[in-house]
Every structure is written in C-alpha cells, then in structure tokens.
Amino acid sequence: MRRIEIRKKEFLVDGKPTCFRSGSMHYFRIHPDLWMDRLVKLKQCGLNTVESYLPWNLHEETEGSFCFSGGLDVERYVGMASSLGLMVILRPGPYICSEWDFGGLPAWLLNKPGLRIRCSNREYLDAVDRYFSVLLPRLRRLQWTEGGPVVLMQIENEYGSVGNDTRYLRHLYDFFRDSGITIPLFISDWGSATVMDSGSIPETLLTVNCPSHPGPFLDEMQKLRPETPEFVMELWSGVSHRWNAPYLRHGTQDVVQDVEEMLQRGNSFNFYMFHGGTSFGFLNGALRMGDRFEPYLNSYDTDALLDEAGNPTPKYFAVQKLIRRYCPDAETGAPAPSALRKFPSVEFTGSAELFDQLSALSEPIESVTPEPMERCGQNFGFILYRSSVSFREKSAPLSLRNLADEAWVYVDGKRYGSMVCNRNDSVPVPPGRLDILVENQGRVNMAMGENDRWNKGLDGVLIQSRRLYSWEMYPLALKDLSRLRFGPYNPSPAGPCFHRAEFVIGEVADTFIRIPCGTHGQLFLNGVNLGRYRVEGPQFALYAPAPLLKKGKNELIVFEVEGLRENRIEFLDHPDHAPFTEMIR
C-alpha cells in the first residue's frame, strides 16, 4: 500500500522518513522533445523530485475547449519523471504567478460580467470548477497512492499576499478532495506570519517561498505550524528579468550557503528555478508597481542551475558537490552538454506590409467604440483599430483611454507617434484614415491585489477631447502567417512590416537568433513564435531549440513594428544579454 504521510515534522513516503530535494521545471516552457534531457540532468544533480506548475490559460485557452497533448501532455511529462525514479510535485493553481501571462488565468475570464478573480465569486468558481473537473481526474491517476510519482499538490499560490478569502481556499481544498486527490495538499507563501496566516487554512501543509536566507522565513512559518515539516517550496536560484531593466545574477556562493543551511536543518526544499526554459510567443507576464509597467522577457533563464539551453552552470556543479557531501546515497552523474551551433548569417529576401495584409491575418469586427482585445475573442498579440477622422484644422491632438500597453498611431499609412500606458500622452494627427496598432506585452501576474485592470488594447479614442466613434477592429493574434504574400525585400516600409528569410542547414542544433538590426518586434521560426525582441534589451537573442529547426530549408519571419536598421539575421552558439548585475542580498 503506497502512502504519503505527515507525522509531526517528518514526511513519510511508504513509512520511510524522506526529505524532498526538488527542482522546478515547467513542461510548458520546454520543448517536449527535450523533456527527458532536462529531467535526466535534474536527477544527475542529486535531486530526487521535480516540481511544475500547470497553466490553466494553455490547457483551456478557449473556454470549454481543453488541451492535454503535445507540449501540454502533463501526464507524459510526469511519466518520464517516474521512469527515472523521480518523485513529482504539482502546482495546478488555478493561479500560478510564475512570470506567466495573467498568472496562468485564462484571458476569457475577463469577458464575464461581474466576475472577480481569486475569491469566492460565483462566476469565477464556476469556471475554476469546470477546469478542475477535467484536470483533476487526470492528475488523480498520477498520485503516489495510485501508483504514480506525484507526492504533493498545491492549491492556489501566495494567496496571503493578495487576499484573505479563506472560504475560497476551502472551496478549492474540498474540490480536490472530492475529486479523489488523497495526497497531502499544501499552500506556499512568503513574508510575515500574518501574510501566511491570512492565505492558508489548517487542513493544508504550509510551505514558504523566499528569494534567499530561508531560515527567517521558516521561523515565521513555525510560529503558525510548529509541529509540521519545514519545506522551502521556492528557494530562488535567481530572478526573472524584465525589459529595459538590469540583468540580475544571484551569486553561486550565496545559493550554496542557502542550500547548505537547508541540508543542515534537514528540511525539504525546491529550487525555483532548476531550469527556467522559455516563455515562447506572447505568454510572458508583467509587473506593475504604481505607474511602472514592466513586461518580462521571453527568456526565463533565471540564472538557474541549468541555463535556457539546458547546459549546467557553475551553480549546478556547486550544488551537486554539496548534495554528494550531505546525501551520500543521492544518485548523481555527469550531465551531457547541449549542442549549440552558430549558423551563417542570412538576409531578408521578402517583405509584406501589415496594412496591405490585414485580410490575410484577420477579419474586421465593426464596433461603435473601440473595445479591448478580449471582447474580440483575442487573448494575445496585437490589435489594430481603424477609423477615419475629419476636422477643419491641419492637425488635432489624439489621446487614448485605458491604453494597455503600447500603441503606434498612423494616418493614411504614415506614422505620427506612439504612446505607452500610464501616461497622459497625446499625438497630433491630421485628418484621414486612422490606424492605431496596440500590442499586448503581457498581463500582470503578481502584486495582483493592487491591480484591477487586466484588459488589453484600449476602450476609447479622443480627438480634441471629443470621442471618436465608428470603428473596425482587426485582432492580430499572429498564430498563422501562412497566408501572407511577400514581395521583394523593402528596407523602408511606411508602417509595420513582416520580413521573410530562408536558410538551409545540414544538421539541426540549438541556437540563439539575433536581429541586430531590429527595433521592436516578434520572431517566428518555421511558424513558431519564439518571442519578442527590443533594441533596449537586456535580452538580445532568442533561444531556438533544435526540434524547431529542419534539416534543409527553414523559414524566418520577423514582424518589425518600428523599422529595421539593416538587413541581417545572426545565429549564435551562446546567449546574448546585457552584462550581469549582482543582486544585493
């Protein structure tokens, strides 16, 4: 009879006292062809457990339609871990934070009148219950008690930092139990005992998240739960990175000191992250603190033990050495390096201007007023608002209401300016056909208690303080670019433009792709959106895993919003980012 028990300050796995040495790796941030490689390397470091969130906004991207295949086949991922003898911790949410768009909540929730997230609001709970009624039967089969490797599951995440609706937490707890989840359920939080207490219920195990120096966090937890095991559910190996911000590093020796403290205390811990991977496409989250809006990079290389391409860092070997010393029975090994290639540079050969290609990308939606993209059935990407303006003056000031996040303004195809959220900007425009292109750069995923606006796009346009009505809206999710029609390469398009290049390779390998001439845009490799590039950095090259490349001919498409400075694409055999800035601990 397989069982997981908590006896005072110990975890018992089939009656044996066990400390979990775990590492976070998110299956949805790793190409599925590389899952086994990353899992093997986790075990070779001396860890015995792997942990992952589950992203609701991918498993149910469209309301009522569920996906658990391909890169979202969590059961296959867990099965791979089990085949290696690893235990598994799952954190199904519904909210996961994780520097992931909207903290993993699906954007279609925003279309429900009266819905309030992360509380016992009936409309929200109905959506959560429907998702969990599909998800939890799949996870039930993976439990340790059912013969699987899953030993613990989390409900919600860091809830005490944003709210105190314990009725909501109890609803989630009861739903898990009623769905046949019998293994221990936990809640993780960080900060003071007050925060932890307001976001937990007695039936759950309480664990702590901390950027460094875990001892004081555990001491706070012990004030509330003195007779339960100590578990640092997030021991940060580094931090995530934002655009136009320093590229921070968490020193190796600092991490080693934290791990040694955990091993000496004899408590369980989970590296956040062990391997960060990549938030491909438009799935990065964002941070908003006051008037600051800062989207996260697509790279989720958090200065972790394995880098974005799956190669071990100095932290990996330092931690491995420490585990060998304190846990001589741990299984360790020599991790195989990931092959990285520098392919020859290529040039663009074709261009397709956005305003000429709208019919290939979108169907217009007519509306009296401009509406947020979610009202148009769109979750991610760009949206174009089109109308016409007429007045007697040569120009008039144009302003936007509730803009999120950045907009570019054009009249008769000519750019007249750009605007960003949280500023009372205006752009002078002449009469003519008005196009406003708005980019969704990521929904806020943390500090959610301070935010109440999640919609993307905009909901009003004013000319000389008068509202402008009668619009066409073109959702531009950019999921399928196959209908684009390219002409010759255009080095100086009037507006946003797609540029296309082809290249031929003999053997596939991981690589990093850099658009050294690009200003602001998205990069697509063989139809897959690798993510965003911005000239200000700190990320200057996007990771392209080998499984996305083809032996023979490959296609690159760049959607450049502001204009290329020269015609060149580079392939690197290493990451390219701003110099590291050491974190202050």
Q: Which residues are catalytic?
A: 158, 234
Report the helix count and the strand count for the chain, using DSSP H and E: 10, 34
State the Cα–Cα distance between residues 277 and 284, nearest whole angstrom: 12
DSSP 8-state secondary structure symbol assigned to residue 296: B
φ and ψ of 467, to 5 deg: -70, 140
DSSP 8-state secondary structure symbol assigned to residue 110: G
Is the Cβ–Cβ distance between 193 and 221 less than 8 Å? yes
Helices (H), 353-469: 358-361
Supply 488's token pair: 């010759």
Is the Cβ–Cβ distance between 47 and 21 less than 8 Å? yes
| Angle at CA of residue 372, ends 293 and 425, nearest 5° | 50
Which of 480, 484, 561, 482 is CA-nearest to residue 522?
561
Characterize the bridge pairing of strands 16-18 and 10-13: antiparallel
State the Cα–Cα distance between residues 491 and 184, nearest whole angstrom: 59
Q: Look at residue 223 and give its three-state secondary structure.
A: helix
Q: Look at residue 412 and give its three-state secondary structure.
A: coil
Could you give the C-alpha distances from 562 to 354, 408, 430, 496, in angstroms and in order? 12, 9, 20, 6
Q: Look at residue 495 and give its three-state secondary structure.
A: coil
φ and ψ of 207, to 5 deg: -125, 165
Which of 276, 283, 337 is CA-nearest to residue 301?
276
- Percent of the chain that is helix, strand, coil (3-state, to 5): 25, 30, 45
Neighbours of 482 (CB within 10 A): 6
Q: Which residues pair with 472 in a beta bridge?
A: 366, 386
Is the Cβ–Cβ distance between 576 and 514 less than 8 Å? yes
For CA atoms 8, 190, 307, 348, the dihedral sign is positive
DSSP 8-state secondary structure symbol assigned to residue 312: B
Q: Look at residue 559 and give its three-state secondary structure.
A: strand
Characterize the bridge pairing of strands 570-572 and 414-420: unpaired
Is the Cβ–Cβ distance between 357 and 480 less than 8 Å? no
Own/partner pairs, 172-175, CB within 8 angstroms, 24+ separation: 172/94, 172/128, 173/201, 173/203, 173/204, 175/128, 175/129, 175/132, 175/136
For CA atoms 49, 183, 96, 63, the dihedral sign is positive
Characterize the bridge pairing of strands 520-525 and 580-582: unpaired
Supply 565's token pair: 């400075």
Bond from prior residue into 312 cis (ω within 30 degrees of 0) = no
